[in-house]
Amino acid sequence: MNDEAWELCIGEITAPVGLRGEVRVHALTEHPERFAELRKIGLQRDAGPVRIVSVRFVRGDGYRVVLALDGVDTIDQAEALRGTRIMVPRSWLLPLDEDEYYYDQLLGLEVVTTTGEALGPIIQIWETGANDVYETPLALIPAIKEIVLRVDLAGHCLIVEPRPGLKKSDPGT
């Protein structure tokens, strides 16, 4: 393997499964089927270093994923991994369709309305089921084409249509 950074989180270990060290994973990807192809993953606690481990096997369907990892053979070892993030290198990302973006590409983008009002950087992305919502210090922005008019990764900004209720302090009237 090359020296590429293992910097993208695709899941989080949530609990041990059984007594033999298997772990349940909450998939943080729109393509959880990708776990079946993984032979190695990075494990990261908080902001600590990433530890690369081999995957013995994967089972599950959809977002319910169970992993068996080399060196994790007991329930106590699995319990110690609760809350650990599963990391992969950027080169392992799946290609996206036009007008699709990875969250890490959007976080930090400066949001500006078509009238030039700055709403601050995207600090959080909320998954609501119907559509994502981008949070800035000043606004909650539904990620829909009627509101989000342009994503400019090169210019590090997101252009939105101002609407009543968009700003956090706006009562929406």
Structural domain spans, the chain:
8-92, 103-160
**Predicted structure pTM score:** 0.67
Assess contact for 12 and 41: CB atoms under 8 A: no
Chain segment 33-74, per-residue pLDDT in tens: 888 889 999 999 988 899 999 999 999 876 789 999 999 999
Strands across the sheet with 132-135, in order?
A: 124-127, 132-135, 140-142
B/e letters for 59-91, b = 16+ CB within 10 Å, e = fewer, are ebeeeebbbbbeebeebeebeebeebbbbbbee
104 pLDDT exceeds 50? Answer: yes
CATH match for 8-92 among 2.60.40.10, 3.40.50.720, 2.60.450.10, 2.40.30.60: 2.40.30.60
CA–CA dist 71, 1 (Å, integer): 20
In the predicted model, what is the mean pLDDT of residues 82-96? 88
> Which residue, 112, 113, 140, is CA-closest to 126?
140
CA–CA dist 109, 12 (Å, integer): 25
Chain segment 20-41, per-residue pLDDT in tens: 999 999 888 877 888 888 999 9
CATH superfamily, domain 103-160, is: PRC-barrel domain (2.30.30.240)
CA–CA dist 156, 32 (Å, integer): 29
Chain centroid to Cα 137, Å, comes to 20
pLDDT at 167 (0 to 100): 86
Chain segment 131-151, per-residue pLDDT in tens: 999 999 999 999 999 999 999
117 pLDDT exceeds 90? Answer: yes
pLDDT at 69 (0 to 100): 97
Q: How confident is the model at residue 171 (pLDDT cuts 50, 70, 90)?
A: low
